[in-house]
Structure 1
Amino acid sequence: MESAREYLLRIPEFAREKHTLREAEEFLRELDSPFPGTVIHVAGTNGKGSVCAFLSSILQASGYRVGTFTSPHLTDVRERICVDGEPIDEKAFQRSFERVRRAWERQRERGMTHPTFFEFLFYMAAACFQEEKPEVVILEAGMGGKRDVTNVCRPALTVITSVSLDHMAYLGNTVEEIAGEKAGIIKPGVPLVFDGNDPAAAAVIRNQAETAGAPWRDVRQEPLSVAWDGPFPRISFPFLGERVQARLPFPAEYQVWNGALAGKAAEVLAAGRRDKDFRPGQVSHSGNGQTVPPFKGVTVSAVSQGLAEARHVGRMEEVLPGVYFDGAHNRDGIRAFCQAAARIAGLLGKPAYLLFSAVSDKEYGTMAEELLRELKPAEVFVAHMENGRGLSAGELETAFARAEEKAEETGGRRPGIRMFPSVSEAFSEAMKEKKAGNGLLFCAGSLYFIGELKECLKEEKHDQF
């Protein structure tokens, strides 16, 4: 009998057509699985997963049961559907899968085509959360927002993280166009908290919110203090007349804004809101008005605790002493990664070694230039990953060779570049060089790449390192 995982992995072979939101609403009705409790909808380019992790941690510290739907996964597809920070168990995963498959078989008789991989998992999350009954559900949008299947939800709060150029083939060629897609999650009367990192994107988001009558807060306009405890940031900001103070568990400056964004979202929940036009957790525009009571458990101490205890794998994660994994995979993400990695290397006074891989639809040439210019690695290792969209080692080597030429023109140093046909070989060699050079190893370029590296950690014994 074909397992749920085998079936899911085959879906991209025969189901590529995205469905409309009306069709998604119809499927959820067939499944009889509107999301329970209060829904928080999160979109953006970079930082979505981190904000979801911070919010989940804050709400758990506040005493709430929390469900999260996020993407992508690193090593196990169950990572996408979590309750209180843990992937659902195998039995719950299988039950959810069977419910969705039976619902689709009924829909097929009415002429509906098969859900895409992402849609199918979203419906599985809906089925699972109906069974698990979390008090809060956090939904991370896919690459877009406006036309994303997650946009069928009727949230109590929407959150938009930093917006920058990525997925241009699908979302548009300018920051303004991409921001318009992300802002598609904004709902009439529903509070919005966003990261106005880019002035052009922020203007689009504000305009959309004001048009929808959605009260908004831009975290970049809020008071925020940042200090440093070695490589770890300490943040402090006002919270309902008191002050949150937390040492973030990620050695990366970019997490400052993600943490602050989650904190301000928590403040909106703690304050509560009444709006006659929305019902938290329901399929869009259904039913009468409903009160959103204050989340009384969300206190300044719970927010501080939740920020300090948040966990998010593959985001400037020190997986072994002096070895960091980061899922940065676009131009702005790589820039933020370089700042964090260079800071760590500078504080420790050690050379940085880089292990990199990427998928073919990313601006990998630009990323290579940024990495050489800002990180200045002692040596670069590039690897072909098993993902079908993965670039060959030769293409990656060529990208870095061209980046080297540009770096030399501006007086930069020329690191060695070594290419490998597999991630495991590249990781093994990079670890040896890191040890020999008494340095630090930073791995970045793709979340799929980080997933393969995680598998390497499971398979290899690293006593030799």
Structure 2
Amino acid sequence: TMMLAMSWFEDQQVDWIILETGMGGRLDATNICSPEICLITNIGLDHQQFLGDDRRTIANEKAGIIKPGIPVVVVEKDAETKNVFIDASSAKGAPLFWANSYDLPSDLKGSYQKHNINGAAAVFDLLFPESQSLWSLGFTRVRENTGFFGRWTPICESPRVVVDTGHNSAAFSFLVKQAAEECRGRQHWVLGAAADKDMGTVLQLLPKEASYYWTATSNNRTLSAEALSDIGSKFELNGAQYDNVNSALEAAKIAAEVDDLIIVAGSNFVVADLQL
């Protein structure tokens, strides 16, 4: 798929390509390319069976995209991971830049997006310093220009429904806080998951007083609604089980009152199954 994509980009004669690693970095297929710049976002615990059990080890895998002499921007500068990136960039003679706070307005929702915006802005600042007024404006039109969907995206009002592809504890630490800040009534969580995810670390973050709608997805990697419910019960999270996302969402809509908030999350597969 990587080579098919690169062939298509060449046929279309695109000006710029943004390549995202599939997982990790050190062993990823995107490493065949020599980029203009590299960007490493925040490090969370995910894919531990492949990348390692702690953030420092995972950071070392992520640092595998750093190339000799190529600038690299790192979004998060924290005590656990910063030396990994300092050492990796120094060893390869790659200029290292930590993303500053740009405080740019954006149409992207969710408090966590400020970190992503800072990383992207730092890249633009290095590549196009003379065009800051133009690319700054672009952040206010991300959804309009790209069709961006699935990160704290509202799809319905009264009751309000938002969808988010967040699927690990790092993402849910933001989602739980965001939901608490925005919800004026009761929270309703429509949740599905892939079978290979550690959902215990996710569900332990969720509020016990919320309503839950456990769902399977159409993907063959799905965790069954029953299995997800069993994990939730360990953390006193109670709800009904559904065999598809849309049935679960419909049940949540029926139960919700006007000031309630429905959050559909847990997996890319959950969001992909939505019939809008």
TM-score calculated relative to the size of structure 2? 0.93
Match of 2:220 in 1: 388
Match of 1:329 in 2: 167
Answer yes or no: is the 8 Å Cα contact 1:357–1:383 preserved in 2. yes
Answer yes or no: is the 8 Å Cα contact 1:164–1:198 preserved in 2. no
**Secondary structure of 1:131 counterpart:** helix
* Cα distance per residue 1:74-107 (max 9 Å; x no partner): xxxxxxxxxxxxxxxxxxxxxxxxxxxxxxxxxx
Where do 4+ consecutive residues of structure 1 move more than 6 Å?
none
1:356 to 167, 191, 197: 191
Q: Tell me, which stretches of 5 or more residues in structure 2 are unaligned?
A: none
1:158 to 34, 38, 60: 38
Distance in 2 between residues matched to 1:416 and 1:188, nearest whole Å? 52
**Secondary structure of 1:398 counterpart:** helix
1:249 to 107, 122, 127: 107
* Cα distance per residue 1:13-35 (max 9 Å; x no partner): xxxxxxxxxxxxxxxxxxxxxxx
Distance in 2 between residues matched to 1:450 and 1:367, nearest whole Å? 17
Distance in 2 between residues matched to 1:440 and 1:212, nearest whole Å? 48
C-alpha RMSD of matched pairs (Å): 1.6
2:11 corresponds to 1:137: no
Answer yes or no: is the 8 Å Cα contact 1:162–1:195 preserved in 2. yes
* Cα distance per residue 1:397-437 (max 9 Å; x no partner): 11111111xxxxxxxxxx64111122221111111112x46
Match of 1:397 in 2: 229
Distance in 2 between residues matched to 1:199 and 1:306, nearest whole Å? 32
Answer yes or no: is the 8 Å Cα contact 2:75–2:118 preserved in 1. no
Distance in 1 between residues matched to 2:142 and 2:248, nearest whole Å? 30
Distance in 1 between residues matched to 2:170 and 2:2, nearest whole Å? 27
Match of 2:181 in 1: 343
Answer yes or no: is the 8 Å Cα contact 2:163–2:263 preserved in 1. yes
Distance in 2 between residues matched to 1:351 and 1:251, nearest whole Å? 20
**Secondary structure of 1:441 counterpart:** strand
Match of 2:244 in 1: 422
Answer yes or no: is the 8 Å Cα contact 2:26–2:63 preserved in 1. yes
Deviation at 1:367, TM superposition (A): 0.9
Match of 1:118 in 2: none
Aligned residue type for 2:137: Q
> Counterparts in 2 of 1:188-227, with a 5 A limit?
188-196=68-76, 198-219=78-99, 222=100, 224=101
- For the pair shown, the structure with the greater C-alpha radius of gyration is 1
Distance in 2 between residues matched to 1:420 and 1:197, nearest whole Å? 41
**Secondary structure of 1:140 counterpart:** coil
Match of 2:253 in 1: 431
**Secondary structure of 1:318 counterpart:** strand
Q: Percent identity?
A: 29
Answer yes or no: is the 8 Å Cα contact 1:251–1:340 preserved in 2. no
Answer yes or no: is the 8 Å Cα contact 1:160–1:195 preserved in 2. yes
* Cα distance per residue 1:119-172 (max 9 Å; x no partner): xx2112111111111111110111111111111000110000001211011111
Answer yes or no: is the 8 Å Cα contact 1:334–1:370 preserved in 2. yes
2:48 corresponds to 1:168: yes
Deviation at 1:320, TM superposition (A): 1.7
Deviation at 1:342, TM superposition (A): 1.7
Distance in 1 between residues matched to 2:185 and 2:122, nearest whole Å? 36
Q: Alignment length, in residue pairs?
A: 270
Match of 1:270 in 2: 128
Deviation at 1:206, TM superposition (A): 1.6
Distance in 2 between residues matched to 1:432 and 1:138, nearest whole Å? 41
Answer yes or no: is the 8 Å Cα contact 1:162–1:198 preserved in 2. no
Distance in 1 between residues matched to 2:75 and 2:128, nearest whole Å? 19
Deviation at 1:252, TM superposition (A): 1.1
Distance in 2 between residues matched to 1:363 and 1:210, nearest whole Å? 34
2:29 corresponds to 1:124: no
Deviation at 1:350, TM superposition (A): 2.8
**Secondary structure of 2:155 counterpart:** strand
Match of 2:61 in 1: 181
Match of 1:280 in 2: none
Aligned residue type for 1:369: Q
Aligned residue type for 2:62: K
Deviation at 1:351, TM superposition (A): 2.1
Distance in 1 between residues matched to 2:116 and 2:240, nearest whole Å? 34
Answer 1 or 2: which has greater strand percent: 1
**Secondary structure of 1:419 counterpart:** strand
Answer yes or no: is the 8 Å Cα contact 1:384–1:422 preserved in 2. yes
Answer yes or no: is the 8 Å Cα contact 2:37–2:72 preserved in 1. yes
1:261 to 119, 137, 143: 119
